Amino acid sequence: MKEPAQGWSRDEFVGRCLQRPVYRLQDWHAAAEVLAAARAQHNWMIETRVPVDQVALLAQATAAGFRVIDTNVQLDCARAELAKLPLTSSAWRIRHAQPDDRDVVRELCAAQMTTSRFHLDPRIDAEASSRVKREWVGNFFDGQRGDHLYLVDTRDGVAGFLLVLERAALGVIDLIAVEPRVRGTGAAGALVATWCAESSHLERIVVGTQISNTRSLRAYGRLGFRVCSATHVLHRHPADD
């Protein structure tokens, strides 16, 4: 296959999880080229993103067979403006993940993170969608993704986690999930607060979530996050030809 040109690339990680070639289209001028590369493969997927204010480009993409799967909302908050929250409670404590937490965290991620763009795409089955999240958080234990992984630990086992990236003074919430049994107890906020307390060099925190995930949007709002941008997420499959 021809090497990717500037403007598109292969997503090898997602491709392995979905068990099909997956392509990222970053520049719409490369659309014809990436589509030709995809069609030379079997059971492929192309993903692209369009800022919500680029209405003409969105119309062009949908006319070309791309389907809007969801809208990704980006939020940010100055570290100094994060809500001040307790770091522990009588029901749980926050701790760093250890190697033997791998399996439980992978399964918790697969079970709780069910609003992703993969889950929302009717042409991707639920098991493949869960595999993306399971392997994503599993990469932390292999040293391949994330700078810290914090857990919500209870008497009945791990009930939540936070995977973060640190880019100098910028902190990124990569993945976060808590089980229903600890929702509303401050556990999610304590995960973020513990991270910020330990990483005092951070000045700003950013996170992205699906507009369909209203529970997360409300939770981030309570922590002090505000929407800073939004992007439509589109997929294209062979069935869209």
Confidence of residue 5 (pLDDT cuts 50, 70, 90): low
- Residue 25: C-alpha distances to residues 3, 62, 157, 234 (Å): 14, 14, 41, 10
Q: Is residue 224 predicted with pLDDT exceeding 90?
A: yes
Task: Work out the average pLDDT over 118-137.
Answer: 96
What is the pLDDT of the chain when averaged over all its residues? 95
Cβ neighbours for 179, distance < 8 A, ≥ 6 positions apart: 108, 112, 159, 160
Fold of 76-232: Aminopeptidase (3.40.630)
Q: What local confidence, expressed as pLDDT, does residue 3 receive? A: 47
Task: Work out the average pLDDT over 85-106.
Answer: 95
- Greater confidence (215 vs 225) lies with 225
Q: What local confidence, expressed as pLDDT, does residue 85 receive? A: 85
Q: Is residue 78 predicted with pLDDT exceeding 50?
A: yes
What is the distance between the alpha carbons of residues 219 and 201, in angstroms, rounded to a whole number?
A: 24
Q: Is residue 97 predicted with pLDDT exceeding 90?
A: yes
Decide: residue 33, CB within 10 A, 0-12 exposed, 13-18 middle, 19+ buried. Answer: middle
Q: Could you tell me which of 35, 153, 16, 87 has the C-alpha nearest to residue 24? A: 35
| Residue listed under structure tokens 């939020």 | 75
Q: What local confidence, expressed as pLDDT, does residue 2 receive? A: 46
**DSSP-assigned states of every residue in 7-56:** TEEE-HHHHHHHTS-EEEE--GGGHHHHHHHHHTSSS-EEEEEEETT-HH
Domain assignments of the chain as residue spans, ordered by start:
76-232
> For strand 148-154 and strand 93-96, is the pairing parallel, antiparallel, or unpaired?
antiparallel
Q: DSSP assignment, residue 193?
A: H
Number of Cβ within 10 Å of residue 225's Cβ equals: 25
> For strand 45-51 and strand 22-25, is the pairing parallel, antiparallel, or unpaired?
parallel
Contact 151, 95 (CB under 8 A): yes
Task: Work out the average pLDDT over 51-73.
Answer: 97
Angle, alpha carbons 152-98-199 (nearest 5°): 65
Model pTM score: 0.93
Number of Cβ within 10 Å of residue 83's Cβ equals: 14
